[in-house]
Structure 1
Amino acid sequence: MSGDERTGARLVSVDFEIFGYVQGVCFRMFTEKQALRLGVVGWVKNTPSDTVVGQVQGPADTVEQMKVWLRTEGSPTCRITRATFTNERPIEQLELSGFKTRY
């Protein structure tokens, strides 16, 4: 058992897609700010189908907080209708650094 597992800081990675009125409402900017506030790493970007996709990595409990935020809050003027989280998996170490908006 690693030190992270003993302290409950198991690292995970998860992909997400957010549906609804989430483009043109600063959703990516607020997602980046929230991720930095929580201390998770990853990326976010708009899709041609008017959704927002990305990936989050970090301690499992913190990633869970980010998932709740993505599912329920987002940017102040967005309207989230659905959030999907896929490919959740344990990771040995962070595979990304920082949190960035991709284009």
Structure 2
Amino acid sequence: MGRRLIMGPDQVRQIVSLEFEVFGEVQGRYFTKYCKEKCTELGIGGWVKNSKRGTIVGKLQGTKPNVEEMVSWMSKTGSPGCVIERCDLSNFEYLARQEFRGFSIRF
């Protein structure tokens, strides 16, 4: 998601969905809490949770620019005190409408 394209109004409003997994020292650092706050601020729906493998996993749905901003946050910034090694993305798709009404932390 490094290069940005010039987008028309229809593309800016287009809903994208993807799954993610964040690796590094991310559990026990309130990553899920800060992730939920950032997604709510950006109007992104979906969920996030701690995995049994010590990573953070979840799903994002929102406009392409907002999802790109969130992916950048998860890849570079994260919660205070975390150390992010990488953020893997999968199952990218375009949706006719957002399926999640809000963003939640799952357990």
Shared fold per TM-score greater than 0.5: yes
What secondary structure is seen at the aligned counterpart in 2 of 1:96? Answer: coil
Mapped to 2, the partners of 1:30 and 1:50 lie a distance apart of 17
Mapped to 2, the partners of 1:99 and 1:6 lie a distance apart of 24
Read off the aligned partner of 2:24 and give its amino acid letter: G
After TM superposition, what 4+ stretches of structure 1 lie above 6 angstroms from structure 2? none
Q: Which of the residues 26, 31, 51 maps onto 2:55?
A: 51
1:2-23 Cα deviation digits (max 9, x unpaired): xxx6363111001000000000
- RMSD across aligned C-alpha pairs, in angstroms? 1.4
Deviation at 1:97, TM superposition (A): 1.3
Listed as ranges, the gaps of 5+ residues in structure 2 are 1-8
The alignment's TM-score, normalised by the length of structure 2, stands at 0.89
Deviation at 1:60, TM superposition (A): 0.7
Instruction: Select between 59-68 and 6-15 the one with higher mean Cα deviation.
Output: 6-15
Deviation at 1:26, TM superposition (A): 0.2
